[in-house]
Structure 1
Amino acid sequence: MCGICGWVDFRADQRAPERRAVLDAMTATMSCRGPDAEGTWVDRHAALGHRRLAVIDLPGGAQPMRLDARRDGEPELAIVYSGETYNFRELRAELGGPWRTDSDTEVVLRAHRDWGADAVRRLNGMFAYAVWDPQAEELLLVRDRLGVKPLYYLPTADGVRFGSEPKAILADPAVERRVTRDGLRRLLSWVHDPSNAVFAGLREVPPGHLVRVSRAGVREERYWQLQDTGHTDDVPTTVRRVRELLDDTAKRQLIADVPLGTLLSGGLDSSALTALAQQYTDGAVRSFAVDFTGYEEDFTPDDVRGTPDAPYVREVAEYVGTDHTDIRLTTDQLMDPAVRSATLHARDIPAGIGDMDSSLYLLFKAVRAQSTVALSGESADEVFGGYRDFHDADTVAADTFPWIAGRMMKQGPSLLAVDLDLDDYVDAQYRRALSEVPELTGPAANDPHERRMREICYLYLTRFLPTLLDRKDRMSMAVGLEVRVPFCDHRLVEYVFGTPWSHKTFDGREKSLLRHATKDLLPESVVQRVKSPYPSTQDETYEKALRERAADLLRHGSPVEPLIDRARVAARIDGPMTGTHDMGARTQLERVLDLDAWLRDYDVQLDLT
């Protein structure tokens, strides 16, 4: 894993000392993503910065990496790379030697020399990288198919700035920290949109895309997209194929030259992944789970969480035979100002989900003390249809994004005082997303429910999952932990996306294909367990602490005041305690506090004209 940054600027030679100082500052912001090494390289019109987390070929994978120089003294190509290419050994054999390192970075660099931009189509992995061609004077910015690894860019009059995170680009003094109404809409809408990365002008390289930067300008190109596959396999064949893909993916993603573990929640996804990892590991796999002090003993079922994780975690760890560690957190830890500040800095924007960010950050920090790499069950719900919204008729029928129509995201009257026309913004995003959905073919094409479920699956994979992946990446890389997501293997995603909804629910349950493909590995209680989301503390003192901090904000004033309705915030502070039975109410207070901290810490210039 790593952090990358840099720029292309065609107006003048970029090798002046002051330009190197800017590159150094940008690279320094990526130190958490790459605590093991640092490297920079400056060409006449390009600059590349890299921070390294050493996972494969510890002594040989230094970056920026360059191919041998041409006769004129310039390198043929140069690269800064973040992520993992899981099939690099097969590609290495296909490309042939000689090789200077054992790293996957050199394989990707050589692949671009031999195959050009089409090289990315051959990569299996999670990655974000930049390749500079001095002779063609062209930069390629490349991102993996599902958007597991982040990559941002800012077009300029003379080229582009880029970085793994916005903070790298914002470290350039020439870049404004301005946020417009559109930026706030993206921030508050719960809809992923790569063309709007909150800060004015900032964009993401969309998942499955590359960006070409040359003297002719900046151009995005799609190299991968979800398609209708005309699925003809029957259910038993489909289940077998899913298992084959899971087995192969698990084996590939266990490759590392550093300690590796799994994240275990006791749900079907993480339990299946942990069991698969144990099958292909010598000795006991390390597994880790997050919990809260008193959570299991005092647990109260609510609308989305029917059971605590801990009993299932213990059962899986014993059944599979892992070397297990529970990370138990207190409310004081979750509300620690230093922790909340760290999570904001990691995400660069105010996420507004409070303890679910703080606890993930603290979990990853504890895991990093024992492992450098962890496998996560993230994305199984989006791929296999696990969320309750997939199975609620009213939510499915709603003419909007299902997670917005669903109960989890209903938050009551807004605490904001500014009218951002969020409904119109969300509707425009929804119509745009629907226009991209590949049409069904075959018998399923005549079934309205199958067509609608194809849309729902596409919406979750392209407009919801990227937000979760970004959260996972930011929280883990903030502590120098590489988290891999086997359920995002593009071969698995393509295959399951192409299956009819009737296959995905053939046993009358959610995630039928995953359940039956892995049930031989798991205790029956976990096979039958109903989906339970990532845990959120039920400790009443947490909500009390939120209210106290919001009240303090109103007493002393803050940068967020122009955005909020003081009367509504005060009413929420003085209203009845809600606990996890009304997460929307708590989330709104989290949002106000996070917005305040963000405006202060990032020196944001609001432009709401």
Structure 2
Amino acid sequence: MCGIAGIVDFNKSLKGKRDILCKMVKTLERRGPDSEGLYDSNNVLLGHRRLIVVDPEGGKQPMIKIIEGKKYVIVYNGELYNTEDLRKELLEEKFTFDSYSDTEVLLTSYIAWGIDAIKKLNGIFAFAIYDEDKQQVFLARDPMGVKPLFYSKKGSTLIFGSEIKTVLAHPEVKAEIDRDGLTELFALGPAVSPGSAIYKGINEIAPANCMLVTKDNMKIWEYWKVKARELNETTDESVSHVRQLLIDAIKRQLVGDVPVCTFLSGGLDSSAISAIAADDFKEKGKRLTTYSIDYEGNDKYFKASLFQPTSDQYFAERMAKFIDSDHRTVLLKQEDLAHALRESTFSRDLPGMADVDSSLLLFCKEIRKDFVVGLSGECADELFAGYPWFTNEEMINANTFPWSRSVGERKTILNDNLKNIKIEELTNEEYLKTLKQVPHLDNEDKKTYRMRELFYLNLKWFMVNLLNRKDRSSMYNSLEVRVPFADYRIVDYAFNLPVDVKLLDGREKGLLRKALVGILPDEIIYRKKSPYPKTHNPIYTNIVCSMMNEILNDKASPILQIINKDKVQEIVDTKGESYKTPWFGQLMTGPQMIAYLIQVDTWLREYNVNILI
């Protein structure tokens, strides 16, 4: 797993710009601590930082391949899970290989099939390929958006990189946010609209999109999307189908020349991955290591809620015993959790999900001491109906994003200069725009129609945000995290499962539970869904309130240009109790909302963001 960067301009020479590329590549050291590589030509500069996972010698980048006198160069961040399938097909077409790396397979796939090669890939990736003969650069991002890719266009010059900070390292790109960006930050944040990066003049290639850059044009298009189709299967056949797809996806993602572990919360999704991985390890004479996260004092202060009905630690330990894994619990201190809000802002280059981000960042930091690759259970809830908004009638019928149903309240914390920003309007616009993209079948009943909308909204918004969080938090620590449920085959199949089948036996993720019978113990299979664990310790609330008070009392704090100081002070004084509605999703309630504002101030301050209002 790696980081990529590049500068492309087919209309003017880039000679003398190598130092700029070096600065861009330096921002990616955490994503790729093992080696660095540069490619320098008149019109294309490519840079790479590498985290070695497969083929230490043969996978070096930028990788150059010359066939029939034609030169092709690739920089690539990701993993292909159908590498051997593609290699076999390419060998049959008489191509040869100098390594066993997926990088060479990807580059050779492009040489063989051109830009249509993108349709053959199963994996997580962001890459750029320079085709010297055709004088074009082809960039692409994986279907679910597991791996990031940002860019900025300055005249005829394209500047791109794996992180926003990489693009900002170019002297022509400024850290600026205008009124539209602020509106998006407070209407949709911590999510971003597809293709946006909040900063003025910076965009991202959206999930399942690719870009072709030539002398005359820069074209972006969507190369993959879920399709609506009838599934003519019995329930038993669907159970078997899900089981087979999941086992195959997990086993494909256990490959590597470095140590592999799994995240294990004791919930259904991580337990399924860990159990299947543990069996695979045992067949090879190895023992799986699993990790869970907990917080000091949570055993004392945990409070059950609709969104978080049970604590994880008991179930994680039960599951670890069941699969006989070497289980390790990372116990986080409240002080560390609060102070890591700053680092988690650096990891995203934007405000994120508050302590949900900082805890994951610290968790990954501990795992990286012994492992380079981990498998995690993200995406199952979005695909198999794990959230309350798939079963709660009020949430199902909310005429907006179900995870942020009260965005109008966000405006109350903004100052008079921003009273008129169109928070509700932008939210509604993005919501309706997404609904227009949802594929449907003819004559769908009202319930099927609405549930298909909800699954698509989750796929394009909520899931992408969680995947962003996972990538930035893990790669900040040079840890590659793979997400088997994000396999596009599972996504495409799950999208077309009838909702009553997904909610088999009237349970959230009912079908997935049934598919795991015989793989997991009953107490795990029938456990009530519980999200990523957060701290319930009041010490954390006290710390973030103290941190926010320091910000409010510092006249130089940049966030004061945005917020209503008195309103935020009231929220802090009540320790978040006066702001009851979750800011985003299930976990960002009062203390987390305060932490989010700390991240906003950190971001504005540390990135020296120029606010254009």
Q: TM-score scaled to structure 1, two decimals? A: 0.95
Alpha-carbon deviation of 1:439? 0.9
Q: CA deviation at 1:234?
A: 1.3
Q: 1:601 is matched with which residue: 580, 602, 606?
A: 606
The runs of 5 or more residues in structure 1 that have no matched partner are none
Question: How far 1:12 moved relative to its partner?
Answer: 2.5
Counterpart residue number, 2:99 = 101
Aligned partner of 1:48: which letter?
L
**Aligned-partner Cα distance in 1 for 2:576–2:225:** 45
Provide the residue aligned with 2:232 in structure 1. 232
Contact 2:344 2:358 in 1 (8 A): yes
Specify which of 293, 298, 305 is matched with residue 290 of structure 1.
Answer: 293
Residue 129 (structure 2) pairs with residue 151 (structure 1): no
1:141 maps to a residue whose letter is: L
Distance in structure 2 (CA, Å) of the matches to 1:54 and 1:569: 45
Question: What's 1:321 paired with?
Answer: 324
State the distance in 1 between where 2:135 and 2:204 align.
22
| Cα deviation digits, residues 390-428 of structure 1 (max 9, x gap) | 11101111111111228xx89676322123211000100
Q: 1:440-462, CA deviations, whole angstroms, 9 ceiling, x for partnerless residues?
A: 24xxx342011100000000001
Question: Kindly tell me: are residues 45 and 376 of structure 1, through their superposed partners in 2, closer, same or farther at Cα, counting changes over 3 Å?
Answer: same
SS of the residue aligned with 1:404? Answer: coil
Shift of 1:208: 1.1
**Mapped partners of 1:265, 1:542: distance in 2:** 21
CA deviations over 1:262-311 (Å, ceiling 9, x no partner): 00111101111111111211322110000011212432213321111000
Could you tell me how far apart the structure 1 residues matched to 2:497 and 2:221 are? 27
For 1:398 and 1:421, the matched residues in 2 are separated by 19
**Aligned mates of 1:250, 1:571 — CA distance in 2:** 48
The answer to which of 106-115 and 588-597 deviates more is 588-597
Checking the alignment, whether the CA contact within 8 Å between 2:138 and 2:212 is kept in structure 1 is: yes
AA aligned to 2:42 is R
Tell me how far apart the structure 1 counterparts of residues 374 and 230 of structure 2 sit (CA, whole Å). Answer: 35
How big is the shift at 1:577? 5.8
Please name the residue that 1:83 is paired with.
78
Greater shift in the superposed pair: 361-370 or 132-141: 132-141
Counterpart selection for 1:538 from 536, 539, 543: 536
Matched residue, 1:54:
52
Q: What one-letter code is carried by the residue in structure 2 that aligns with 1:317?
A: A
Structure 2 CA distance, aligned partners of 1:247 and 1:92?
A: 22
Moved more, 484-493 or 206-215: 206-215
Matched, 1:273 2:278: no
Aligned to 1:560: 559
User: Quick one: which amino acid aligns to residue 293 of structure 1?
Assistant: E
Q: How does 1:147-546 map to 2 (within 5 A)?
A: 147-188=145-186, 189-190=188-189, 191-281=191-281, 282=284, 283-336=286-339, 339-351=340-352, 353-405=353-405, 414-417=412-415, 418-419=418-419, 420-441=421-442, 445-546=443-544
CA distance in 2 between partners of 1:550 and 1:439 (Å): 47
Q: Deviations over 1:458-496 (max 9, x none)?
A: 000012111110110000000000000000011111111
CA distance, structure 1, for counterparts of residue 2 and residue 576 of structure 2: 43
Of residues 492-501 and 589-598 in structure 1, the stretch that sits farther from structure 2 once superposed is: 589-598
Q: CA deviation at 1:437?
A: 0.4
Partner Cα distance (2:215, 2:230) in 1: 42
Q: d(CA) in 1 for partners of 2:39 and 2:598?
A: 40
After superposition, the C-alpha distances for 1:128-184 in whole angstroms (9 at most, x for unaligned) are 000111222211111111111111111221131111111100000111211112212
Correspondence for 2:29:
31
Point out the more displaced range, 179-188 or 385-394.
179-188
Aligned with 2:413: secondary structure?
coil
Question: CA separation in 1, counterparts of 2:391 and 2:138?
Answer: 41
> Closer, same or farther in 2 for the Cα pair 1:183/1:479, shift >3 Å?
same
Cα-to-partner distance string for 1:105-127 (whole Å, 9 max, x where unaligned)? 00000110110001011111000
Residues 194 and 29 of structure 1: is their aligned pair in 2 closer, same or farther, counting only changes over 3 Å? same
State how far apart, in whole Å, the 1-side matches of 2:579 and 2:255 are.
Answer: 39
1:68 alignment partner, SS class: strand
Provide the C-alpha distance between the structure 2 equivalents of 1:199 and 1:574, rounded to a whole number of angstroms.
32
**Closer, same or farther in 2 for the Cα pair 1:325/1:580, shift >3 Å?**
farther
The answer as to whether partners of 2:265 and 2:316 remain within 8 angstroms in 1 is: yes
Alignment partners' CA distance in 1, 2:444 and 2:210? 35
Give me the whole-angstrom Cα distance separating, in 2, the residues matched to 1:511 and 1:410.
Answer: 31
Please tell me whether the aligned partners of residues 4 and 162 of structure 2 are also in contact (alpha carbons under 8 angstroms): yes
For 1:100, what is the secondary structure of its paired residue?
Answer: coil
Number of residue pairs matched by the alignment = 595
Between the aligned residues of both structures, percent identity stands at: 37
**1:3–1:52 CA contact under 8 A, matched in 2:** yes
8 Å Cα contact 1:183/1:196 also seen in 2: no
Give the aligned residue type for 1:602: Y
Offset at residue 98 of structure 1 (A):
2.3
Q: How far apart, CA to CA, are the structure 2 residues paired with 1:446 and 1:165?
A: 41
Structure-2 residue corresponding to 1:588: 593
* C-alpha contact (below 8 Å) 1:152/1:203 kept by paired residues: yes
1:294 partner letter: G
Report the secondary structure of 2:330's partner residue: strand
Give 1:209's aligned amino acid.
N
Note the aligned Cα RMSD (angstroms): 1.7
Deviation at 1:201, TM superposition (A): 2.0
2:39 corresponds in structure 1 to 41
Question: Equivalents in 2 of 1:329, 1:446: separation in Å?
Answer: 48
Q: Check the 8 A contact 1:186/1:197 in 2, yes or no.
A: no
Distance in 2, matches of 1:449 and 1:316, equals 36
Are the counterparts in 2 of residues 415 and 588 from structure 1 also a CA contact under 8 Å?
A: no
Render the CA deviation track for 1:222-245: whole Å, top value 9, x for unaligned: 211011121111111001011111
- 1:584 maps to a residue whose letter is T
Contact in 2 for aligned 1:65/1:106 (Cα 8 Å)? yes
Q: Aligned partners of 1:87 and 1:148: how far apart in 2?
A: 16
Which residue does 2:584 correspond to in 1?
A: none
Structure 1 position 194, deviation (Å): 2.4
Contact 2:342 2:599 (C-alpha < 8 Å) held by counterparts: no
Structure 1 CA distance, aligned partners of 2:102 and 2:318?
37
Summarize the Cα distance change of 1:95–1:576 in structure 2 as closer, same or farther, 3 Å threshold: closer
Q: CA deviation at 1:603?
A: 1.0
- Partners of 2:370 and 2:381 in 1: CA distance: 28
Q: Do the aligned partners of residues 410 and 185 (structure 1) sit closer, same or farther apart at CA in structure 2, a change above 3 Å counting?
A: closer
Alignment-derived partner of residue 138 in structure 1: 136
SS at match of 2:257: coil
Question: In 2, distance between residues paired with 1:69 and 1:511?
Answer: 49
